[in-house]
Amino acid sequence: MSLDDLAIEYQAELPTAQEFERLFRSSGWSEASEVPADRLAATLPGAWYAICARCDGQIAGTGLVLSDGVLHALIVDVIVMPELRGHGIGTEIMRRLVARCQEAGLLQVQLFSARGKRGFYESLGFVARPDDGPGMELGGLR
C-alpha cells in the first residue's frame, strides 16, 4: 500500500502535548531543538482553532489558528510529519483552517510560515506582503 492509499482522518481538535512536541521536533525549524517540552505544551491552549490529521491513529499533521474571533487570525504551526509530506495533508489542513476563518467572518487572515514554503502557500491563495506593507516583527528576542 502506498502513502496515497492511507486513510487520513481530520478532526477539529488540538494535538496532545506529546503529539505536538513530536511534530514540532520533526519540523526541521531551527527552534525545534531549543524549546523545552513544557513551553511547547503551553502554546496549545492559546489556539482559537486547530486541525489534527491522523493516519492509523497516529499524528500526521496539525495546524493552529490564533485569533480574536472577530477581526484578525494568524495561522501558525502547520506541520506534517516528514515521511507524510507531499500527499496533500498540509493542503487539506490549510483548507480547513481557512474555511473556519471564513465561516467566522474574520476580516484578515495572516500566516506565519517556515522559510522556503512561499510557493506552497501562494498556491493556496496567500500573497507575500509588499516591502511597504503593514506588519513588522520584533527583533532581538533570541
Mean pLDDT taken over the chain: 90
Would you state the cell numbers that stand for residue 105, as one nine-digit string?
467572518
Domain extent, residue 45, equals 3-122
Eight-class DSSP state of 7:
P
Per the structure, how many domains does the chain have? Answer: 1
Tell me the CATH number at 71: 3.40.630.30
How far apart CA 106 and CA 74 sit, in angstroms, is 11
Q: What pLDDT, on the 0 to 100 scale, is given for residue 3? A: 54
Residue 24 within a domain: yes
Where does the pLDDT of residue 69 fall: very low under 50, low under 70, confident under 90, or very high at 90 and above?
very high
Specify the residue for cell string 506588519. Answer: 135
Residue 134 within a domain: no
Residue 131 within a domain: no
Q: What pLDDT, on the 0 to 100 scale, is given for residue 30? A: 76
Contact between residue 79 and residue 62 where contact means Cβ atoms under 8 Å apart: yes
12 versus 29: the higher-pLDDT residue is 12
What pLDDT, in 10s, does the model give residues 79-125? 999 999 999 999 999 999 999 999 999 999 999 988 889 999 999 99
